[in-house]
Amino acid sequence: MKTRKDTLLFIAFLLPALASLVVVIIIPFLMGIYYSLTDWNGVSKTVNFVGLQNYLAIFQRDPSFIHAFLITLAYAFLNVLAVNLVAIGLALLVTNRLKLTNVYRAAFFAPNLIGGLVLGYIWQFIYNNVISFYDFMPQMLAKPGTALAATVITSTWQYAGYIMMIYVAAIQSVPESLLEAAEMDGATYSKRFRYIFFPMIAQSFTICMFLSLTSSFKQFDVNISLTNGGPAASFMGESIRFTELMALNIYYTAFSYNKMGEGQAKAIIFFFLLLVVSVTQVYFSKKREVEA
Amino acid sequence: MKKHFVRILAAVLMGCMLSACGSGGKAASAPAESATPSSQASAAEEKAEGAVSEISLFNNKVEIDDALKQYAQTYEQLTGVKVNVTSYGGGGAIDSFGMLKTMSQSGDLPEIFVIAGPTHYEQFKEYICDLSDQEWTQYTEQAYLGENGEVVGFPVAIEGYGLAYNARILKEAGVDPNGIKTFSDIKSAFETIDAIKDELGLNCVVSMAASPELNWVTGEQNFNVYLSGGLARDDDSMINALLSGQVDEQRLRHYADYVELLFQYANSKTMTVATYDAQVSEFALAKAAFVHQGNWIDPTLKESGIDFEMGYVPQAFLPTATNGIFISAPTWYVVNSQSPGAEEAKKFLNSMAMTEEGHDYMVNIASMVPAFTNVKLTPAGRLSADVMRWNNEGEAYSWNQYHLPDGFALNTLAPIFEQFAAGSIDKEGFIAGVTKAINSLK
């Protein structure tokens, strides 16, 4: 029976978190929608309402955003693949009965603790000066394709440890007895992996896919410090920055071109893209879970 | 009892959380103040009622960070007013003016900050003080004027940029720096040096950068050659034409030839990924005969103990003679009119221009060329001294790159340069790209 005291207690506990959510996320989001319909330049006090003009301008006059859109999709695909493969591999390695597995786990997780900006600068130094020390090694950040690969490598290095931890937890929750029973019945390693192991960690697979997908879409600090948009390339007749992901493109539109209204419009589009991608991914993963 | 304990604990935790949300500064200083009432009283006695004792300054020239902080300390010893210096710059990911914008939106704009031209003036107009009544205004012609002709900006320094050369290398190659006046002069000079570059121990003739991080070198400074190279100081025809979407094709073609020359004789391996340090050190370590930078690299060179003879040659891109380099005040200090420390800020700036310590800081410690005629010291830095010489003897072309629309130089033009440097577009493509970018400004 809920008493009035209990209700007050519930509200009291919920209030701080709810207040933070509203102030930091809901209100700026609504303000963003409002500003995306204006031509505000970020500093001036005059704000004119222009309706959907910003949204149209983005698709008509801005090849850099369309390119950023496409390259972010490509980057997200590559990054999710790379991070998950590396993370699963590391997790399997680390749950064996070796000595020092705890040390390995901490070591693999450590790169995640380094801030993205510092990481980007360190790796930039590595790519520019260390790897290309010998003449036959390429300047990775100078060519569009290899610059994208370099960004994927750096962010995989940063993020794989974090995802590995989640997989480790999942792997440890798989009952040994099931696997042993299957082994005794004659199942090979690959069959054990596919029919027992994999379905049992499918739930963590959903989580990890979701995390790595959203984090690759939102990638900003490694992007700006490693390549700052990277080598220039031609796209739709204009010179654009090849590895400029969407977050960076929005940042430059808003703060360098001082087109806050257009930047907000791009941000809203970004939000919807991320929403669609995440919901789709979770839906399909959940479906698989139920079946398995 | 246990039930009560849990509820009290919860209430205390929530209280802590809410007070942390509030201004943490006030909460922290309140106990400190009550603990030291005596020092509080004496401090109050020393200063006048309502006076500000601490102001902050936002500086975007990272190379003078140490010098500025040193001068701030001297100033504090002399007047008791503390000046907190924050330096933020360098290019690429570090966006000084974006940072200022963020600071203004969070109400954190410092007492003194910098503007670099009309777009920043427009942005921060409401925060900028009128400084026409200050003493230093009579000693300089480089002050920034506001929309009604009033003085609003204190010139940080005079800076010049062009092609700095290493005198020893040029002498060994038999090239006379004073003989470089036209495009064919500079072309033959580059070719001569390039032919014997192995003997001279060089990696390349000119240390030029066309990377995303140094987008200001190509998009702003190098492009300014097209905007004001060879033109009289108050000749705004090229920039006005550009702002209305027109291109001077003949001039752009000459300019493209010059850019092609620079990229051809630069270090192709590192040009497209260069950092500021990499570009300057290539010149400092005598691996390049020329460097496309300004006299602001003097403090950096001094720190590394580099002291060979160097000077500037004009960026001769026209078939006719070019007799000057690009000299202007790069940024101006402005005073935040909406902050209570505005008067102290004005006094600080005044002291920089009018006192001996200020002169000493500007010329000797920060190695800048002062913009004030009442400064009798000459800079020790070789490039700075050369800039002063060009300012007196040659022509000083203006800096028009800051009249370009927002983001145009750094994000629209710079990628075109980068592609040209990487070789993915040729000279015709470069000309077409720049023309298209300018035409879109109509």
CATH code for the domain of A150: 1.10.3720.10
pLDDT score at B21 = 54
Per-residue pLDDT band for B261 (boundaries 50, 70, 90) equals very high
- A to B CB pairs, distance under 8 Å: 107
Which residue of chain B has the CA closest to A5? B7
Structure-token pair, residue B424: 């993915």
Residues 6+ apart with CB under 8 A from A194: none
Residue A186's domain spans which residues? 62-291
Quick check: B26 pLDDT over 70? no
Establish if A117 touches chain B: CB-CB under 8 angstroms.
yes
A256 phi and psi angles, rounded to 5 deg: -100, -45
Q: Is B423 on the interface with A (CB under 8 A)?
A: no
Surface of B (14-53) touching A: CB under 8 A? 14, 17-18
Q: Which of B228, B188, B225 is nearest to B208 (CA)?
A: B225
Contact assignment for A42 to B433 by CB distance below 8 Å: no
Nearest to B407 among A13, A233, A252 (CB): A252
By CB neighbour count within 10 A (0-12 exposed, 13-18 middle, 19+ buried), where does B136 fall? buried
Instruction: Determine the residue of chain B that is closest to A232 in CA distance.
Output: B415
Q: pLDDT under 70 in chain A at which residues?
A: 1-2, 135, 289-292
Contact B418/A at CB under 8 A = yes
The token pair at B263 is 């990229």
Is the Cβ pair B406, A258 closer than 8 Å? yes
Q: How far is A129 from chain B (nearest CA, A)?
A: 9
- Among the listed residues B291, B280, B151, the one whose alpha carbon sits nearest the alpha carbon of residue B208: B291
| Beta carbons of A43 and B101 less than 8 Å apart | yes
Distance between B175 CA and the closest CA of chain A, angstroms: 31
Q: Tell me the chain A residues in contact with residue B92 when contact means C-beta distances shorter than 8 Å.
A: 224-225, 228
ipTM for the predicted complex: 0.83
B159-328+387-439: CATH topology is D-Maltodextrin-Binding Protein; domain 2 (3.40.190)
Q: Is the pLDDT of residue B30 over 90?
A: no
- The ranges assigned to domains in chain B are 52-157+330-373, 159-328+387-439
A257 interfacial to chain B (CB closer than 8 Å) = yes
Hey, is the C-beta of A139 within 8 angstroms of any chain B C-beta?
Answer: yes
What's the pLDDT score for residue B361?
A: 87
- Does any CB of chain A come closer than 8 Å to the CB of residue B220? no
Residue A47's pLDDT is: 82
pLDDT computed for residue A290 by the predictor: 61
Structure tokens at B9: 């604990």
Question: From CA B330, how far away is CA B352, in angstroms rounded?
Answer: 17
Interface touch B212/A231, C-beta < 8 Å:
yes
Rounded to an integer, the average pLDDT of B403-415 is 88
Q: β-strand B332-335 against B151-155: which pairing, if any?
A: antiparallel
Mean pLDDT of the residues in chain B: 83
Q: Which of A224, A225, A239 sits opposite B419 (nearest CB)?
A: A239
Q: What pLDDT is stored for residue A266 in this prediction?
A: 93
Nearest-by-CA chain A residue for B92: A228
Q: How far is B317 from chain A (nearest CA, A)?
A: 24
What would the 3-class secondary structure string for A18-85 be? HHHHHHHHHHHHHHHHHHHCECCCCCCCCCCECCCHHHHHHHHHCHHHHHHHHHHHHHHHHHHHHHHH
pLDDT, tens only, B280-331? 989 999 899 999 998 888 878 888 888 888 999 888 888 888 888 888 888 8
Instruction: Name every residue whose Cβ is closer than 8 Å to that of residue B166 and which is 6 or more positions away in sequence.
Output: B283, B286, B288, B289, B290, B308, B309, B310
Q: Is the pLDDT of residue B24 over 50?
A: no
Fold entry, domain B52-157+330-373: D-Maltodextrin-Binding Protein; domain 2 (3.40.190)
Which pLDDT does position B45 carry in this prediction?
37
Q: From the list A15, A45, A252, which residue is nearest B411 (CB)?
A: A252
At B11, is the pLDDT very low, low, confident or very high (cuts 50, 70, 90)? confident
Q: Please indicate if any CB of chain B lies within 8 Å of the CB of A146.
A: no
Beta-carbon separation of B10 and A12 below 8 A: yes
Least-confidence region, from A111-120, B12-21, B336-345, B358-367: B12-21
Distance separating alpha carbons of residues B418 and B420, to the nearest angstrom: 5
CB < 8 Å to B98, chain A = 255-256
Residue range B239-259, pLDDT digits in tens: 889 989 889 999 999 999 999
Give the best residue of A225, A239, A262 to mutate against chain B (max B CB count within 10 A): A239
The confidence band for B420, taking pLDDT boundaries of 50, 70 and 90, is very high
| Whether the predicted pLDDT of B28 surpasses 70 | no
The predicted-structure confidence for B85-130, as pLDDT tens digits, reads as follows: 988 876 655 678 878 888 888 888 899 999 888 878 888 888 888 8
- Per-residue pLDDT at A239: 86
Minimum-distance CB partner of A43 among B104, B414, B422: B104
Please state the rounded mean pLDDT for residues B132-156: 84
Q: What is the pLDDT of residue A30?
A: 94
Q: What pLDDT sits at residue A180?
A: 83
Asked if B123 lies within 8 A of A227 by C-beta distance, the reply is no
Partner B contacted by A285 (CB < 8 A): no
Give the model's pLDDT for residue B407. 85
**A128 to chain B: nearest residue by CA?**
B273
Selected residue of B119, B126, B211 to mutate for chain A interface (largest A Cβ count, 10 A): B211
Q: Which residues of chain B does A42 touch, with a Cβ-Cβ cutoff of 8 Å?
A: 101, 105, 123
| Contact by Cβ (8 Å): B75, B348 | yes
Interstrand relation of B288-294 and B204-207 (parallel, antiparallel or unpaired) = parallel
**Which chain A residues contact residue B102 at CB under 8 A?**
255
Helix (H) or strand (E) holding B57: strand B54-59
**A229 within some domain:** yes
On the 0-12 / 13-18 / 19+ scale of CB atoms within 10 A, B419 is: buried
First-last CA distance in chain A: 39
Identity of the residue numbered B192: T
Using the Cβ of A224 and the Cβ atoms of chain B, whether some distance falls under 8 Å is answered with: yes
Which residues 304-333 of B have a C-beta within 8 angstroms of A?
none
**Residue B376: what pLDDT?**
77
Total domain count, chain A: 1
